[in-house]
């Protein structure tokens, strides 16, 4: 039986492949590790890991930019909300 290739997203990358890398890199964002350290720890190819981190970072930033540009929330509202959350969590200036 023939299974067609997944349709590429706007960036030309198949959705299944993107989902795989999003899952693989889910722990990277908060790990504090370098790309080299993370790729070695997870036994991932360094160049692919580096490339996918750039692709996903750009997508995240594009999502934030789109959200802010739609007027759903202004940057001032975002900053106010963030500061309120920081205060509620009890994070002092020395820990920011």
Highest mean pLDDT among 10-14, 24-28, 59-63: 24-28
Supply φ then ψ for residue 91, to 5 degrees. Answer: -85, 120
Q: How many residues does the chain have?
A: 96
Helices 46-69 and 15-24 pack at an angle, to 10 degrees, of: 100
Q: What is the pLDDT of residues 42-67, one digit of tens each?
A: 999 999 999 999 888 888 787 777 76
Q: Between 26 and 70, where is the model more confident?
A: 26
Nearest Cα neighbor of 14 from 55, 45, 46 is 55
Phi, psi dihedrals of residue 28, rounded to the nearest 5°: -65, -45
The predicted model scores a pTM of 0.52
């Amino acid at each position: 039986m023939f299974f067609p290739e997944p349709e590429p997203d706007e960036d030309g990358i198949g959705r299944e492949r993107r989902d795989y890398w999003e899952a693989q890199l889910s722990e990277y964002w908060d790990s504090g590790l370098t790309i080299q350290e993370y790729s070695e720890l997870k036994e991932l190819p360094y160049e692919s890991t580096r490339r996918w981190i750039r692709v996903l970072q750009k997508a995240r930033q594009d999502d934030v930019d789109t959200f802010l540009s739609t007027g759903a929330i202004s940057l001032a509202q975002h900053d106010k909300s963030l500061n309120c959350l920081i205060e509620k969590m009890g994070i002092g200036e020395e820990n920011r």
